[in-house]
Amino acid sequence: MVFSSISFIYYFLPVILIIYFSVPKPLKNMVLLVGSLIFYAFSEPVYVLLLLFSSLVDFIHGIIIENNRGNKKAKRALISSIVINIALLAFFKYSDFIILNINTIFDMNIHSLGLRLPVGISFYTFQTMSYTIDVYRGQAKVQRNLLKLATYVSLFPQLIAGPIVRYRDIQEQIDSRESSYDLFAGGISRFVIGLSKKVILANTLGELSVLISNTGSPSVIFYWMGAIAFTLQIYFDFSGYSDMAIGLGRMFGFKFMENFNYPYISKSITEFWRRWHMSLSSWFRDYVYIPLGGNRGTKISWLRNILIVWLLTGLWHGASWNFIIWGLFFGLILVLEKVFLLKILEKTPGVFNHIYVIFLVIISFVIFNSDNLCSAFLNLKGMFGFLDIPFINRETVYYLRSYLGFFIVAFAGTTPMMKMGFDRLKKRGTWKIMEFIQPAGLLTLMIIVTGYIVDSSFNPFLYFRF
């Protein structure tokens, strides 16, 4: 089940909301837990057991750490928890990748396991790991109620594709949270906006990207159109999902961290990664980069730590060499920025900085979106005119004319212009009018989105594969 489906919007969500607000406070976590497991079972009925096992493992380890605080048994429990979590993730996500590389390097013929990747395992594994690490560090209170910890791990708004919510950030909300009209209404608004970004913008861009990749008449401009379409698609797809998750959380009284902050307006790649998938970036910073030594020590060790983090970031996204290269690509750019590029960018006009960021991000997502390195190299050759294809052709002109207006709207949607417009209306005292217009606008969006969902068969979430 996905958020952008009729079954979720008009059946699952209304039912769980009615039940949730009908039961007394002590039963609300139970409703969320059961509802979340049902939600997950629609996609992965067998792997519900894996989700519960992961919750149980870290529940037990958290108690062992707390009961043995200050001695070696606590540290051994932490190590055990991390090893088990990484082993589960590695087994389900990287087994076939490891086997493939062993076969290639040593000319062997080991059969792949062919395991189906549990949806969201990369996200909830990082959440459970952060719980035990934070308990060990004394940054989170140990949870002695298994139901409450399992509710946190399986919470359906952020279970499948984030944001990566740390237990320490919502531990008080798990035990006691208040619902209000403003919070619930804000949650609905945020959900509808995220749903619109996904269904209207991301899905349309995805369909265009597929059309371009399957064309029999490629051109240099066509390759660039495809690359730009995917760059916009992945932003609206993932930020739209995050908006929906944050909105759903608010409906149930939770306040999740923001995950995107208009990354395409950045003036450096360093700034880009402070704005893109912020929950993942901060996770690697706090649990990998800083423990490795961060920027302490020699410059060589500092730069090494950056590359290690970005190697792992690429690997986290998928079991393929193109993801590893994608991570190292960003790692290398960040190293260069730390060494000298940032000083140059500070003296460069902002418009050129934006072009620099967008150019590198587009190139990175060509690598990211390719099935393998050969495919990525072929796409890059096409973009830079190293294939025997025209610069532009009639088919390219047709699609340019057809989608130019849509591209302009999509580019505008990656900026805070609309938000700034609402803020100006509020300052001018016309916000009371917006209080009447906004519900009508949201209802109109829901009608349009419903039509899109019913009419379209293209509705995948890109980050479900991670």
SS3 letters across 154-176 = HCHHHHCCCCCCCHHHHHHHHHC
- pLDDT score recorded for residue 152: 95
- Parse the chain into domains and list their residue ranges: 6-177, 183-465
- Count the Cβ atoms, other than its own, within 10 Å of residue 279: 22
Position 1 scores a pLDDT of 79
pLDDT value, residue 437: 74
Tell the burial category of 374 from Cβ atoms under 10 Å away from its Cβ (0-12, 13-18, 19+).
Answer: exposed
State residue 427's pLDDT score. Answer: 66
User: What pLDDT shows up at residue 426?
Assistant: 64
Q: What length is written for the chain?
A: 466
Q: H or E element: which one contains 284? A: helix 278-284
Provide the percentage of residues in the chain whose pLDDT is more than 90: 68
Cα gap 275→264, rounded to integer Å = 9
Distance CA 313, CA 25 (A): 39
Rounded to the nearest 5°, which phi and psi values hold at 222?
-65, -40
What pLDDT is attached to residue 184? 93
Locate tokens 């298994």: which residue? 146
State residue 201's pLDDT score.
93
Q: Which residues are catalytic?
A: 317
The pair of structure tokens assigned to 213 is 């990749």
- pLDDT, averaged per 10 consecutive residues of the chain (466 residues), comes to 89 96 93 94 88 95 94 94 95 93 89 88 93 95 94 92 89 88 91 94 90 85 94 94 95 93 95 95 95 86 93 93 95 94 91 95 95 91 92 90 91 87 67 70 88 74 58
Average pLDDT, the chain: 90
